[in-house]
Amino acid sequence: MGKIAFVFSGQGAQYPGMGHSLYENSAAAKAVFDHAEALQPGILELCFNSDKAVLAQTINTQPCVFLTDIAAAYALQEQDITVSMMAGFSLGEVAAVCFSGMISFDEVFRLVLYRAKVMQQCAEKYPGAMFAVLKLETAHVEAIAEQFNEAYPVNYNCPGQVVVAVALKEADAFSAAIKTAGGRAVRLNVNGAFHSPFMKEASDKLYSFLDNMQVTQPNIPVYANLTATPYVAEAFRHTLSAQVSNPVQWEKTIRTMRKEGCTHMVEVGVGKTLVGLIQKIDPEIFTCRVEDIQTLQDAARQLQEVE
């Protein structure tokens, strides 16, 4: 019998109208969005009707992507799909923590809004960019990054793809160095240099913010970006706060979950980036995604066979 994992999308694939199809067609998804609207009036307008430039701002992106992620997960659960383990990419990890029951939705949503604010502040204070580097070995990318004053490998995505965060003033030179080395540097659709030392102040503020939150052991194991191992309640504050200023160990996480018996992975939330990465990490893992009513129906049909 196979095991199903939910993997929650991160920032970067956002688009105007994300989540609206789920809102209109899933009672569970609608409940998520409506509750968030009661907590933060105007969030539905931001998700469904704002333009790309507005959504590109971290302070707006993160709550909207989070809501779409968690709504997609509840919509799939509504279809009687049972999940055995979870992970989330960057912001998606916060949605996974929420879905696991470690902290309440109200507390998590408050956390997401604060996380977005402090990361936006760091992005403005320390201007940076992020590049997905392709066609080069990881060690080669790390060696090139070391030639710059402020360039940091931050997302170990899959074989042949490492994301590097770099100071804005060095971005063009870094991109050129990758090209000279025979690689390709694709700039990401984010407005900060996340998971790097540029975010240390945000990490420290999050650690303090999490001090008074009530945390319980997760109902479903959540594999952390920081360690590629399951969360434990005792280390929750450190694991979730340190995540924003340290690398995402995504390839290692997926391989670990595979060893633990995961055979099917569902990307819940915005886009299909994680599906693509997982297929490159381990083509034997069955992948599908849920971000609207059509993909929800397709995934539910495909996953029923695993039950």
- In three-state secondary structure terms, 198 is helix
Per-residue DSSP letter, 251: H
Catalytic pick from 50, 90, 203, 245? 90
Please indicate whether residue 264 is annotated as part of the active site.
no
Catalytic pick from 195, 196, 203, 241? 195
Per-residue DSSP letter, 282: -
CB-CB contact of 155 with 163 (8 Å): yes
Per-residue DSSP letter, 66: H
CB-CB contact of 144 with 181 (8 Å): yes
**Measured CA distances, 165 to 47, 123, 169, 205, 241 (Å):** 27, 11, 12, 21, 18
Please indicate whether residue 195 is annotated as part of the active site.
yes
* Tokens coding 87: 């992970």
Task: Report the alpha-carbon distance of residue 257 to residue 265 in Å, rounded.
Answer: 10
Q: Residue 93: in which H helix or E strand, if any?
A: helix 91-99
Bridge partners of 152, per DSSP, are: 165
Task: Report the alpha-carbon distance of residue 279 to residue 282 in Å, rounded.
Answer: 5
Strands 161-167 and 128-134 come out as: antiparallel
Q: How would you list the strands of the sheet with 262-268, edge to edge? A: 222-223, 85-88, 3-8, 262-268, 286-290
* Tokens coding 187: 């700039």
Residue 227: CB partners within 8 Å, gap ≥ 6? 239, 249
Q: Supply the residues annotated as catalytic.
A: 90, 195
